[in-house]
Amino acid sequence: MEKPRSEVVLYGTWASAYCTRVQLALKLKGIAYEYVEEDLTNKSESLLHYNPVHKKVPVLVHKGKPIAESLVILEYIDDCWNNSPNLLPLDPYQRAKVRFWANFYDQKIIPSSYAVVLSKGKEQENAIKEFNELLTVLEEGIEKDFSTKFPFNGEREALGFLDIVVGAHACNYRALEEAVAVVVEPKEHPAFLSWVTKLKEYPLMKETLPPHDKLAARMRERFSLAPKRNIATL
Amino acid sequence: MAEEEVKVFRTWSSPFPLRVIWALKLKGVEFDTVYEDLSNKSPLLLQYNPVHKKVPVLLHNGKPICESLVILEYVDETWKQFPLLPQDPHERAKARFWAKFGDDKVFQSIVYGILFKQGKEQEEEIPRAMEILQHLEEELKGKKFFGGEKIGLVDLALGWLAYYLGIIEEVIGLKLIDQEKFPLLLQWIQEFSTAPIIQENWPPRDKLIAKFAASREAALARGLK
pLDDT tens for each residue of A66-90? 999 999 999 999 999 988 799 999 9
Are the CB atoms for A128 and A115 separated by under 8 Å? no
Contact A76 B89 (CB under 8 A): yes
Amino acid making up residue B96: R
**Residue B93's closest CA among A61, A178, A130?**
A61
Q: What are phi and psi of B102, to 5 degrees?
A: -60, -45
Chain A nearest-CA distance from B48, in A, is 12
Q: Estimate the crossing angle of helix B183-193 against helix B119-139, to 10 degrees.
A: 80
pLDDT at A229: 43
A90–B contact, CB cutoff 8 A: no
Distance CA A145, CA A147 (A): 7
Q: Is A86 left (phi over 0), alpha (psi -120 to 50) or beta?
A: beta
Instruction: Give A36's strand partners.
Output: A11
CA-CA distance, A165 to B111, in Å (whole number)?
Answer: 29
Burial of A147 (0-12, 13-18, 19+ CB in 10 A): exposed
| A92: nearest CB among B78, B93, B94 | B78
Contact (CB<8Å) B51/A137: yes
Residues in chain B: 225
Q: Does B56 sit behind a cis peptide bond, omega within 30 degrees of 0 on the bond before it?
A: yes
User: Smallest Cβ distance to B70: which of A72, A80, A103?
Assistant: A103
Do the chains contact at A76 and B93, CB–CB below 8 Å? yes
Residue A156: the pLDDT is 58
| Identity of the residue in A71, A79, A100 whose CB atom sits nearest the CB atom of B89 | A79
Which residue in the set B63, B67, B96 is minimally distant from A100, CB to CB?
B67
Model pLDDT, residue B123: 96
Q: Name the residue among A53, A136, A60 with its Cα closest to residue B51.
A: A136
DSSP assignment of chain B, as one string?
A: -----EEEEE-SS-HHHHHHHHHHHHTT---EEEE--TTS--HHHHHH-TTT--S-EEEETTEEEESHHHHHHHHHHH--SS-SS-SSHHHHHHHHHHHHHIIIIIIIIIIIIIIT--HHHHHHHHHHHHHHHHHHHHHTTT-SBTTBSS--HHHHHHTTHHHHHHHHHHHHT-----TTT-HHHHHHHHHHHTSTTTGGGPPPHHHHHHHHHHHHHHHHHHHH-
Characterise B21 by phi-psi region: left (phi > 0), alpha (psi -120 to 50), beta (else).
alpha
pLDDT digits (tens, 9 = 90+) for B153-210: 999 999 999 999 999 999 999 999 999 999 999 999 999 999 999 999 999 999 999 9
Q: pLDDT value at position A5? A: 64
A-B C-beta contacts closer than 8 Å? 60
Confidence (pLDDT) at A230? 41
Which amino acid is located at A142 in the chain?
I
CA distance A40 to A222: 14
- Interface check for A106 against chain B (CB to CB < 8 A): the answer is no
Rounded distance, CA B194 to CA B66, Å?
28
What is the pLDDT at residue A234? 30
Q: In chain B, which among 97-136 make CB contacts under 8 A with chain A?
A: 97, 100-101, 135
Interface test with B, best of A97, A109, A142 (most B CBs within 10 A): A97
Judge: A93–B100 Cβ closer than 8 Å, yes or no: no
Check whether B102 has a pLDDT greater than 50.
yes
The helix (run of H) or strand (run of E) holding residue A73 is: helix A70-80
Cα-atom radius of gyration of chain B, to the nearest Å?
A: 18
Handedness of CA B170, B190, B12, B85 (dihedral sign): negative
Please list every residue in chain A whose beta carbon sits closer than 8 Å to the beta carbon of residue B100: 69, 71-72
User: Rounded distance, CA B178 to CA B171, Å?
Assistant: 17
Query: What letter represents residue A165's amino acid?
Result: V
pLDDT at A220: 87
Give the per-residue pLDDT at A118. Answer: 87
Mutate to test the interface with A, among B90, B101, B139 (most CBs of A within 10 A): B90
Q: What is the least distance, in Å, from the CA of B78 to any CA of chain A?
A: 7
Q: For position A226, what pLDDT does the model report? A: 43
Report d(CA B221, CA B225) in Å as an integer: 7
Burial of B107 per CB tally in 10 Å (0-12, 13-18, 19+): buried
Q: Answer whether B97 sits within 8 Å of A68, measured CB to CB.
A: yes
Q: Please tell me if residue B93 touches chain A, with a CB cutoff of 8 Å.
A: yes
pLDDT at site A180: 80
Nearest-neighbour CA in chain B from A58: distance (Å):
13
Asked casually if ipTM beats, i.e. exceeds, 0.85, the reply is yes
Pick out chain A residues at pLDDT < 50. 1, 153-155, 226-234
What residues in A contact B101, CB-CB < 8 Å? 53
